[in-house]
Chains A and B, each alone.
Chain A
Amino acid sequence: MENPPITIASKSKAEKRKKSSLWGQVLQRFLKKKIALVGLGFLLFIFLFSLIGPFFSPYATEGVNPTQINLPPSSEHWLGTDKLGRDVLTRLMFAGRISLTVGVGAMVLSVTFGALLGILAGYYKGIIDQIVMRIADILMTLPSLPLLFIMAAVMSEWKVPTEQRLYIVMLMLSLVGWPGLARLVRSQVLSLRERQFIQATDALGLRDHRKLLNHLLPNIVPLLIVSGTLSIGGAILSESVLSYFGLGVVPPTASWGNMINAANSLIDFQKRPWLWIPPGIAIFLTVISINLLGDGLRDAIDPNMKRR
């Protein structure tokens, strides 16, 4: 049996500081992951590009400009213009805002639902567990894209105003996103329950909310961070697919998905690649970067955590 030395005081200051917080250790491990840092760098770039970029653009995202239709890239319009004469680069930035918002928003919602329901199911077991997990099973066995298509079709049928579709899409994505997360959280909670420090909370007679929020939740936060990060990529991809088919975010609001859709005629595809290549690259880079970041976070947070 290995026993660390008793006298902490004799250790050097630097070592003490380093050891003092678990998150400090995580950060140190993370900074060693070059690929994850590249992913983080790309993401930061895309975020800044979408959030701040529009302020440096002389063009508006909406409105028709009949004199400037379908221009190829030039020094004035770096990525050319589309069939309504709008600057593609500017639209790409605004679309980024929407796509990132949907991705992050859907992640926040599914992490919230997934964590809450997973903790309740894992902690209380019994009937709550049965109900939550059966619903999760059903949602997980249904293939998510067709499900999203049906929901989106219903949304279109109900004539949801364009501005609100964004939020409905987030909700839809989180509806298919939470079951997987709830399962992960539940199984983590089930294994935590067997740990002595959770049994200790029983022995101390702590109230349920304290057990759940102070003891269980902090121990699943790493899982939530990693799964949450990775789920943003999936959400952005699903949103793009929906929007490409005109079922997600619809024009005039730009999203990367519906920008690609604008190029679905053969002529546009062959002759005007500036219409679809930039949003395609944006989606691709964003999703790849998120996955690299998520993998790096997972390895940094818990070197022993199993790969999915």
Chain B
Amino acid sequence: MSKALPLLEVKNLKKYYGDSSNLFRRNPEVVKAVDGVSFTIEKGETFGLVGESGSGKSTIGKSILRLSSITDGEVLYKGQNIHKLSKKDMRNLRPKLQFIFQDPYSSLNPRIRIGDAIGEALIDHGLVDKSEIRERVLEVLDICGLAPYQIDRYPHEFSGGQRQRIGIARAIILNPDFIVADEPVSALDVSIQAQIINLFSDLQKERDITFLFISHDLSVVEHLCSKIGVLYLGTMMELGSRDQLYGNPLHPYTKALLSAVPVPDPTLKRERIIIKGDIPNPADPPKGCKFHTRCPIATDMCRIEVPEFREVEANHFVACHFA
């Protein structure tokens, strides 16, 4: 099997938050925010990472781009270990790897005009001559659906959806190969979500960008992603192509998540599965299969033995004893 090198390879990634004890709270326990996650993203593909709040999605996204340190594992971008790069090499690589933040209200500096915010990285990396900057900024503003006259405005003059467009413009002006989009629409109104999702699908079509698209909402991911990973308490539960996951979900957690997604065609009624209970405390996750406290088909074995993450069919992985 001689496949071309994947664009991004995440191997056994672990991120533990250690001393979370502070003045008000003593908590010597370690939070295993990401506990041994592996996946690969091919060039041009959009990988969807799904999971509930606190499952470790942002932690994975930030670790991949070395915006936070990692406890163990490897992140290989075109074969090079990102966390082993020198500071200088990392800086030179930065424009190629971009991040779009969850909260459009805090991801823009309130004291910087958006034209400057979008253009400054180009200047700082010396990628474009100073005289061309304005032109380039106007170009990406147009791509992202913003008007030219808005270039000299401050962030507080924009709505949430517009700010998210600005965040996207700031990323794509650098011509990145790979973008991590961390729940880019979850802070927005439903009506505006659709517009931003359309912007992403335009970018997929018109530019050669690979995405890691993070979401807690499977219906958002379905539109955009060709490959999907389902995360639960820092562990990957199921991983497969969109068709495999939506057509043939194998993990009880995936099935439950999918049953909550509204189906456009009412004849295609999915059986509604309700997950009982709350997410366990990440500092003290259940033994055995982490999902057993909420799994409708859990057995004694699930409470003791950690299910192996195995390939059930080609490129379709699942961590469940009964899948």
Contact = CB atoms under 8 A, between A and B. Distances in A.
Interface stretch (A201-209, A266-274, A275-283): A201-209
Interface string B240-281: 000000000000000000000000000000000000000000
A8 interface: yes
Contact of B124 (A3, A19, A203, A204): A204
Residue from B62, B99, B102, B108 with most neighbouring chain A CB atoms (10 Å): B99
Interface string A201-219: 0111111001000110011
Interface in B118-149: 120-121, 124-125
A75 interface: no
A20 B154 contact: yes
A194 to B, nearest CB: 9
Given A1-B188, A195-B106, A200 B101 contact: yes
Given A206-B121, A219-B111, A8 B99 contact: no
Nearest to B147: A9
A204 to B, nearest CB: 4
Contacts of A6: 159, 161-162
A210 B106 CA distance: 19
B220 interface: no
Contacts of A161: none
A203 B98 contact: yes
B315 interface: no
A33 B104 CA distance: 33
Given A22-B154, A22-B156, A196 B106 contact: yes
A19 B153 CA distance: 10
B225 interface: no
Contact of A202 (B67, B154, B192): B67
B95 interface: yes
B160 A219 contact: no
A57 interface: no
Nearest to B187: A1
B101 A219 contact: no
A21 B120 CA distance: 20
Contacts of B13: none
A177 B305 CA distance: 62
A204 B156 contact: no
Interface residues of B, number: 43
A20 B152 CA distance: 10
B144 to A, nearest CB: 14
Contact of A1 (B62, B93, B160): B160
A19 B159 contact: no
B284 interface: no
A202 B124 CA distance: 12
B70 interface: no
B224 to A, nearest CB: 21
B157 A197 contact: no
A218 B99 CA distance: 23
B121 A4 contact: no
Given A3-B159, A20-B153, A204 B94 contact: yes
A22 B111 contact: yes
Nearest to A23: B111
Contacts of B121: 204-206
A203 B157 contact: no
Minimum-distance CB pairs A-B, first 7: A205-B94, A196-B107, A203-B99, A204-B121, A218-B111, A197-B109, A196-B106
Given A3-B161, A203-B99, A214-B120, 15 more contacts: A3-B160, A3-B192, A6-B161, A8-B158, A22-B156, A200-B101, A200-B170, A203-B67, A203-B94, A205-B93, A205-B124, A207-B91, A214-B112, A215-B109, A219-B110
Interface of B: 62, 65, 67, 90-95, 97-99, 101-103, 106-112, 120-121, 124-125, 150, 153-154, 156-162, 167, 170, 174, 187-189, 192
Interface of A: 1, 3-6, 8, 19-22, 195-197, 199-200, 202-207, 210, 214-215, 218-219
27 contacts: A1-B189, A3-B192, A4-B160, A6-B159, A6-B162, A8-B150, A19-B157, A20-B153, A20-B154, A21-B154, A195-B106, A196-B101, A196-B106, A197-B106, A200-B99, A200-B107, A200-B170, A202-B67, A203-B65, A203-B97, A204-B120, A205-B90, A205-B94, A207-B91, A210-B120, A214-B112, A218-B109
